[in-house]
Chains A and B, each alone.
Chain A
Amino acid sequence: METVKYLVRRFAFLVLVVFAAGTLNFFLPRLTGQDPIRSRLLDEMKNGASFASGISDLVKVYDEKFGLDLPLWHQYLNYLGDMSRLDLGQSFTSYPRTVAQLIGDALPWTVGLLTVTTLVSFALGSLLGALVGWPKSPAWIRAIAPPVFTLAAIPYYLLGLAMLWLFAFELHWLPGSGGYRIGTIPSHTWKFAFDVLQHSVLPALSIILSSVGFWALSMRSMMVGITSQDYVAMAEAKGLTNRTILVRYGLRNVMLPQITALALELGYVVSGTILVEVVFTYPGIGLLLFNSIKLADFPVIQGIVFTLIVSLAVATLILDLALPFLDPRIRRRA
């Protein structure tokens, strides 16, 4: 019964976040009292002779839902209706492709990059932080900590710029732009997979390098806290090996708040990744966002923002639901 209540509350929150994302997406661009999308669309119609027919269709469709003759609340409801059907609209600049198609092309790249880098840096960072916070760790581990922590203070993409210069421009070790070699056609071959992998190394490395320190920092402070717990003292009195104490009494307990931290910081990780993609012209959501901003393709921008917020909310929900399986205390409360 308690569990059902928790689930209902948690899902209600998800719905609320999605609703908030839609609402913000509708109202924030209209903050100045004008509809920037509309004015942008009209501009495009005036200039864009090449696909004028397509654009004028667009204007017609747009005016039906968001026309000036409609009251704001009606437009708002139309917008929410579109979002709930995941109808993200049309791109101005890549017409006739829809926003959903553009995002669909870009999303796998971002999800792949994000998953691998987050898992690797979370695991490495947590382990490093745990060892640094553990009083019986060898001294060399504590010696490597400060430089790693310092890297955490640097935004991913700035590290990315430096790595792009060093490894792609100066040393020519790795490709520094794109997701695969220009001219190749994406296919399910080993050759292509290797190409993709090669192109992902630098973006991934710059994310991992600077986020390892972040996870290590958060883990260290929690680990230091745990070493003063009574049950750790009891574990020592039981004559357990250092390994057992570290793993079963230290790590096992610290993992829970650390995973909560992961859920909280996912947004930060996503923001960082967006810009890393831009630096390496990696064909994910981030680059699509950058290009859409450059071209003022507002529906694509809004679509990306909405998609990312919803994906993040779902990811957080999954982490939250996973937590009770790791923590018997929440399991009962939940």
Chain B
Amino acid sequence: MTAPILQVRDLRVQYRTPRGVVQAVDGLSFDLYPGERLGLVGESGSGKTTAALSLLRLIKPPGHIVGGKVVLDGQDLLALPEEGMRHVRLAQIALVPQGAMSSLNPVLLIREQILDGLRDHETGLSSRAQTARVNELLAGVGLEPAVAGMYPHQLSGGMKQRVCIAIAISLRPKVIIADEPTSALDVVVQRRVMETLGKAQEEIGAAVILVGHDMGLMAQFVNRIGIMYAGQLMELSPMKPMFQKPLHPYARALIENTPSLAVKAIPRSIDGSMPSLMELPSGCLFHPRCSYALAACTTERQTLREVRAERRVACWRAEDIAAGAPANAGAATAAGALSPDAAPEKIGLNA
């Protein structure tokens, strides 16, 4: 196996609010390999967007990155001075943002918004080369050269997101972070935008971290998937085995609640909602809602560990579940079905 392009180790992000400290990302660790597509999935407030943005060091107060390492191609980003980090953004690690509709400056031409990134990273293109580069980038995401001379309000949502993708790949970064890139778009457009993103990524050979809550969309796009809950990774596994047999009870609940995939069973449901990040339960964070929970789960937290080849799970009972152990009797007597969309927004950046 090749060396990872991005290594995240024990990343911790806090929000310091007047009412207390919120642990938005709590000891996140994973590796990302060149060309790989990794999905980060979780309910709103699970810390997935915070985690993604902290890789770019774009967390704003009251949020603070309080610990950990983000090593991109041998360089610890968290140790860089601010100006050094600025040079890394876009050039080495780029963002495809969440709000496609509002992420472009309404009063600047598309051309200008593509070029100012190139300019501020001192690529020193002649004006003819700039035009050529803009056209090339637009073509790469399936847009006409004429789009360069338009303003954002003249474009549809899907076109705007394509422009954002064009900007993200304009300096051939090693990692692209796509933060729910299709959340504001309708289903048909979603698909095409994802195809565009995939194509663009393959062309420049970047790795992608796709953040989202739509399991169906994930299943079509990523190679590997990490499931986040209350700021922690619950399971990190290759896509196929994960969907065939999730080993973490939470992963299992999420997957079984994805309509298009849950053909084999009646959608199950889970009691309760995500805990307040300020008053986390003891032991395993998921145990109050877990239908496999044991007494040990209420006191001791399991960290991510390799349960099968390439499959890392943070659950005491992962082996039991793999072996087909049944859920606790009477545990799943829930009312509301757990759906990634249902929970209210809880963490600043998602709101």
Contacts and interface: CB of A to CB of B under 8 A. Distances in A.
B104 interface: yes
Interface string B89-127: 111001101110011111110001000110111000000
B89 A239 contact: yes
Contact of B106 (A239, A244, A329): A329
A252 B105 CA distance: 10
A239 B91 contact: yes
B107 A238 contact: no
Nearest to B170: A238
A328 B91 contact: no
A229 B95 CA distance: 16
Nearest to A234: B103
Interface in B75-99: 86-91, 94-95, 97-99
Given A234-B97, A234-B164, A239 B86 contact: yes
Given A233-B97, A238-B90, A256 B117 contact: no
Contact of B107 (A235, A241, A252): A252
B107 A327 contact: yes
Given A230-B97, A230-B102, A233-B97, A256 B107 contact: yes
B116 A239 contact: no
Given A237-B56, A241-B86, A328 B107 contact: yes
A249 interface: yes
Interface SS, A side: helix
Given A237-B90, A238-B117, A329-B153, A229 B102 contact: yes
A327 B97 CA distance: 24
B151 interface: yes
Interface residues of B, number: 31
B262 interface: no
B181 to A, nearest CB: 12
B167 interface: yes
Nearest to A331: B151
A229 B103 CA distance: 8
A231 B58 contact: no
A230 B121 CA distance: 21
B94 A237 contact: yes
A172 interface: no
Given A230-B102, A329-B151, A239 B107 contact: no
Contact of A238 (B151, B153, B167): B167
B89 A237 contact: yes
B57 to A, nearest CB: 10
B58 to A, nearest CB: 6
A230 B157 CA distance: 14
A240 to B, nearest CB: 5
A236 B58 CA distance: 8
A332 B154 CA distance: 9
Contacts of A326: 107
B121 to A, nearest CB: 6
A240 B120 contact: yes
B136 to A, nearest CB: 18
Nearest to B106: A329
B97 A248 contact: no
A23 interface: no
A56 interface: no
Interface string A315-327: 0000000000011
Contact of A252 (B56, B95, B108): B108
B347 to A, nearest CB: 16
Nearest to B349: A233
A235 B120 CA distance: 11
A253 interface: yes
A238 B112 CA distance: 13
A270 B87 CA distance: 49
Contacts of A253: 105-107
Contacts of A244: 116, 119-120
A244 B98 CA distance: 22
Nearest to A236: B58
A239 B88 CA distance: 7
Nearest to B56: A237
Interface string A293-334: 000000000000000000000000000000000111100100
Nearest to B153: A329
A234 B165 CA distance: 12
A256 B87 CA distance: 31
Contacts of A236: 58, 89
Given A240-B116, A248-B112, A253-B106, 8 more contacts: A230-B102, A231-B104, A233-B97, A238-B116, A238-B167, A239-B89, A248-B105, A328-B107
Interface of A: 229-231, 233-241, 244, 248-249, 252-253, 256, 326-329, 332
21 contacts: A231-B104, A231-B105, A233-B58, A233-B103, A234-B97, A234-B103, A234-B104, A237-B58, A237-B97, A238-B94, A238-B167, A239-B91, A240-B120, A241-B120, A244-B119, A244-B120, A248-B108, A248-B116, A326-B107, A328-B151, A328-B153
Shortest beta-carbon contacts, A-B, top 10 = A239-B89, A237-B95, A230-B102, A230-B99, A239-B90, A328-B151, A234-B103, A238-B117, A231-B105, A240-B120
